Chain A
Amino acid sequence: MSIVFVTTDSGEELMSVVIDTPESAPYLKSGNKVNVLFKETEVAVSSQKELNISLENRIAGIITHIEVGVLLSRLMLETKIGEVIAIISTMSVGQMGLVEKMNVMIMVKLNEIILAP
């Protein structure tokens, strides 16, 4: 198992835990380019900047659009790493008072990050 640190083109640092090791997967080498994938439904959103919580990957973003569904809502966010979509509950959108143009943090647990060489 390995924990891999990835620096994005915009300079943000992301972390991923993978089953592979540099021996089992030769692409795990310092300096190698990888694509980083994560599912929209695994993105957590926080309105607080500093949170004591075990979500390792955190990126600041601005909500550009909210599509409110009955149960779930789809947030489009502008971040340094590009456009990110977060699917969260409509309940949370209401409780947190999330609206367009708001500054938030998006967070993804390190085991949810897929690396694609």
Chain B
Amino acid sequence: MIRLNLKKTLQSAGGKMVLDLQLNIKKGEFVTLFGESGAGKTSTLRMLSGLLRPDSGTIEVGEATWFSSQENIDLKPQQRKVGYVFQDYALFPNMNVRQNLEYALQKNQDSAKIEELLEFAELGELQQRKPETLSGGQKQRVALARALVQRPEILILDEPLSALDLKMRIKLQEYLLKVHKKYKLTTILVSHDIAEIVKLSDSVFELQNGSVIKKGAATDFFGLNRTSAKFRFSGEVLKIQREDVLYVISVLIGNDIIRVVSDPKEAELLEIGDRVFVASKAFNPIIQKI
């Protein structure tokens, strides 16, 4: 179990915010922190990894105390078994793939781990390449492999896939799940993509103004189980168009744009960019072989 009990005054874009957070994460779980920008998600993860010092509180991981303001304990980032993957990869541009991984090795650590990770991440053929010559998906695989060099117990993924196109995202989502299982990690993801969250995580914590306001199992959290409708997808509203007495709403689902007719009463509640569910009964769709 990871137990966070933290207080920290933060300067955010909207002024001062007091982060006051109690968060318990089970070992081996894949959890997501969800919430608006500035809710305190990244600050929480930076405190867990030792990059930001809380004003007060405790961080306990299993039997170990990583931080305690009362007992004056504050482990250095390199003493905490945390791997951190950022949205912008944060690779060293002057080093090739292998060197980026080797840089993360601790003194006296066996370099066999590098071979294993290069192989697992399918980076063997790319090991001499510099980051600038790699695609976004390849860079993120390097960043992920580097985060695993020190055999972390906790893997932190701060919007790791949001810069990638959908096809690559889906591929890397599967890869993240594989990594989580293979290395028996406790993984903490920050993501805004509901489909991604539901696919990857066991449970979700929603943060608002520095506190947890809601938590639950991923599928229950977004109300996915709350109707008998079996044909359901989440997507983003692209267009809202009046047609006769109705509206036609265009929704981006995965790579496809679908169109749904909507009564004005419901269409009035929608705005372009809104995340929506589209649902229908299993009895309605037709199915044809392509």
The finding on whether chains A and B are genuine partners in a shared complex, rather than unrelated, reads: yes
Nearest B-chain residue to A67, judged by Cβ:
B245
CB distance B281 to A117 under 8 Å? no
Nearest B-chain residue to A111, judged by Cβ:
B283
Known: A74-B263, A111-B281, A114-B279. A37 touches B227 (CB 8 A): yes
CB distance B227 to A114 under 8 Å? yes
A41 to B229 alpha-carbon distance, docked (Å): 17
- At the interface, yes or no: A59 with Cβ under 8 Å from chain B? no
Nearest A-chain residue to B244, judged by Cβ:
A69
**From A25, A74, A111, A112, contact of B246 by CB (8 A):** A74
Question: Which residues of A have CB within 8 Å of B16?
Answer: none
- Chain A at the B interface: SS class: strand
CB distance B229 to A114 under 8 Å? yes
CB distance A69 to B283 under 8 Å? no
A13 to B281 alpha-carbon distance, docked (Å): 20
Against B, the Cβ 8 Å flags (1 = close, 0 = not) of A57-68 are: 000000000011
- At the interface, yes or no: A44 with Cβ under 8 Å from chain B? no
CB distance A115 to B244 under 8 Å? no
Nearest B-chain residue to A112, judged by Cβ:
B281
* Shortest beta-carbon distance from A114 to chain B in Å: 5
Against A, the Cβ 8 Å flags (1 = close, 0 = not) of B246-266 are: 100000000000000101110
Interface residues of B in 268-284 (CB under 8 A from A): 279, 281-284
CB distance B246 to A115 under 8 Å? no
Query: Interface residues of A, CB < 8 Å — how many?
Result: 25
Against B, the Cβ 8 Å flags (1 = close, 0 = not) of A96-117 are: 0000000000000001101111
**From B261, B263, B265, B281, contact of A114 by CB (8 A):** B281
* Shortest beta-carbon distance from A116 to chain B in Å: 4
A19 to B231 alpha-carbon distance, docked (Å): 11
- At the interface, yes or no: B107 with Cβ under 8 Å from chain A? no
CB distance B228 to A20 under 8 Å? yes
Known: A87-B263, A111-B283, A112-B281. A69 touches B245 (CB 8 A): yes
CB distance B283 to A116 under 8 Å? no
- At the interface, yes or no: B167 with Cβ under 8 Å from chain A? no
Query: Interface residues of B, CB < 8 Å — how many?
Result: 17
**From A19, A73, A112, A116, contact of B227 by CB (8 A):** A116
- At the interface, yes or no: A14 with Cβ under 8 Å from chain B? no
A69 to B243 alpha-carbon distance, docked (Å): 9
**From A69, A72, A114, contact of B228 by CB (8 A):** A114
A67 to B242 alpha-carbon distance, docked (Å): 14
Question: Which residues of A have CB within 8 Å of B284?
Answer: 111-112
Against B, the Cβ 8 Å flags (1 = close, 0 = not) of A14-25 are: 001111100001
CB distance B228 to A87 under 8 Å? no
A79 to B242 alpha-carbon distance, docked (Å): 27
Question: Which residues of B have CB within 8 Å of A85?
Answer: 263, 265
A72 to B245 alpha-carbon distance, docked (Å): 6
- At the interface, yes or no: B230 with Cβ under 8 Å from chain A? yes
- At the interface, yes or no: A40 with Cβ under 8 Å from chain B? yes
A19-B230, A87-B246 provided; 17 other pairs, C-beta below 8 A? Answer: A16-B228, A17-B283, A37-B227, A41-B246, A41-B261, A67-B245, A69-B245, A69-B246, A70-B244, A72-B246, A74-B246, A112-B284, A115-B227, A115-B228, A116-B227, A117-B226, A117-B227
Query: 15 pairs across A/B with beta carbons < 8 Å?
Result: A37-B227, A40-B263, A68-B245, A69-B244, A69-B245, A70-B244, A72-B245, A72-B246, A73-B245, A74-B263, A74-B264, A87-B245, A112-B283, A114-B227, A117-B227
B interface, CB within 8 angstroms of A: 226-230, 244-246, 261, 263-265, 279, 281-284
Closest 9 CB pairs of A and B: A69-B244, A69-B245, A111-B283, A74-B245, A116-B227, A115-B228, A18-B228, A40-B263, A72-B244
